[in-house]
Structure formats: structure tokens, C-alpha cells
Amino acid sequence: MRRADYVKKIALVTGGLGGIGQEICAQLGKAGYVVVSTFMRAGRDEAWTKHMKDLGIEAKAYQCDVSNFEDAQALVANIKKDFGTHVSVLVNNAGITKDGTLKKMTVEQWQDVINTNLNSVFNMSKAVVDDMVAAGHGRVINISSINGQKGQFGQTNYSAAKAGMHGFTMALAQEVAKKGVTVNTISPGYIATEMVMAVPEDIRNQIIAQIPVNRLGKPEEIGGLVTYLASDGAGFITGSNIAINGGQHMK
């Protein structure tokens, strides 16, 4: 076996400490990656780190504001220092909502969502892609949303950011395809995270009634798709936006 075969492969999942992100981390870890994630508020990493350890996954969380270019650069430098290798898989999953109709939306609501949901994709991709290109292999997977495809009342900021992610995906995919690096988008619909399950049951049932498969998605279904796109078997898929929404929006 070549020496290179012994080198650990690092998967970096931004915003991976809860909901869909945690399941993405778990499935990438089970697939053999060392999993790294980010968090903003001190102390949020403890439960996640224990959960990963209980699953037998080597993992580490770093405090980082991914909407800040310098923080993103420092994060990736620290990962390379701590693990002795570069990031092989980047999953841009960090995101927030600050909803409101355009009439009532403040500049701060607009900028905060664009910074966290879209500018972070540039910041993190910029920090890792050169190493992927140099290695001749890499995966960038951007987690968008059904609302980036069809829009959503009261979410001009969120819908714009999520739609912008796929424009970024298609452009970057063309730049790095010949270097063995793929770039793809996943657009989930309504997924049974703690946040969605906390919605009153009658409202949740109204949502489910709009989904042709008649159920919410499962976080592990998103994690499974991410893990496939990260695999060698997905090397012919790039610049794609894969909808995973139970048929709620077909395009």
C-alpha cells in the first residue's frame, strides 16, 4: 500500500452541530472521514463531540464565524496544522433565517442572511479549493434549499442566498472539473429536524399534505446523499443541483 493511502481524509461540514448538519457529519464519519465542523457560541461543541465519539468517529469542532473571510482562512490553516493534511470534502451547510416581507425587512436582516448563507460559501471554498486542485481530487457540496428553487413568501433574503449558492456551484464546477474536483448543490425540502418537529402538529400536517410522498424527509436521507456525492463513485456528477424534497417541487 502506498504511503498516501494512510493519510487521513478530512471532511469539513460548516454548521454541522445540529439538525441536518449533525447527520451529515455522522454519515461522513461512518464512511471513514475524519469529520471537522464549526460553531459560533462557546460550549455548543461539547454535546456534538461526545455524540461523534460515541459513534466511533474521529471528529473535532472549531469556533469560527464562516461569514468572516479571515476566520475561514484561519480555520483551514488550523485544520491542516492539527491533522497534517488538507480538507478533501467541504460541505457548506451553515445557514440562518431572518424572515420578513421585503416591505418590513431591515438592511441588517438582509445582510446577515447573505453573509452567513452565501458569502460563507465563497469564504470556505476559497480556503480549500487550491489544496484540492493541487491534490487532483476534492468535493465541494453546497446545501441549498427548496426555497432557493421556488422562492418563499417572507424570505427574499434566504431565497436569494440559496439560489445564489447554485450559481456559484455551476461556475466553480467549470473551473475545477479538469482537476478532479467536483462541485454540487443539494436542495432539501422539509426535513424532520428538531426545529420542524417543534412546529404545531396542525401546521406540520398542512406542510406534509403538500408533499407528494406524504411525509417529511429524514436527516439521514440528506446525509446519505452528501456521502454519495463525496464518494469516488460520484466523480461524473458536477455542477448539478439535486432536489431532495419528496416531490414538493419538480423542475
Of residues 6, 33, 158, 190, which has the active-site annotation?
158
Q: What is the pLDDT along the chain (251 residues), one digit of tens a residue?
A: 333 444 689 999 999 998 899 999 999 999 999 999 999 888 889 999 999 999 999 999 999 999 999 999 999 999 999 999 999 999 999 999 999 999 999 999 999 999 999 999 999 999 999 999 999 999 999 999 999 999 999 999 999 999 999 999 999 999 999 999 999 999 999 999 988 888 899 999 999 999 999 999 999 999 999 999 999 999 999 999 999 999 999 98
> Is 6 marked active-site?
no
Distance CA(58)–CA(37), nearest Å, equals: 12
What is the model's pTM?
Answer: 0.95
Q: Which residues pair with 68 in a beta bridge?
A: none
Give the three-state DSSP class for 52: helix
Give the three-state DSSP class for 184: strand
Distance CA(91)–CA(183), nearest Å, equals: 10
18-44 CB burial, b ≥16 within 10 A, e <16: bbbbbbbbbbbbebebbbbbbbeeeee
Handedness of CA 50, 53, 59, 60 (dihedral sign): positive
Q: Which residues contact 105 (CB under 8 A, 6 or more apart)?
A: 156, 157
Phi, psi of 27 (to 5 degrees): -75, -35
Distance CA(117)–CA(165), nearest Å, equals: 8
What are the residue ranges spanned by the domains of the chain? 3-243
Given the candidates 3.60.21.10, 3.40.50.920, 3.30.70.1560, 3.40.50.720, the CATH classification of the domain at 3-243 is 3.40.50.720
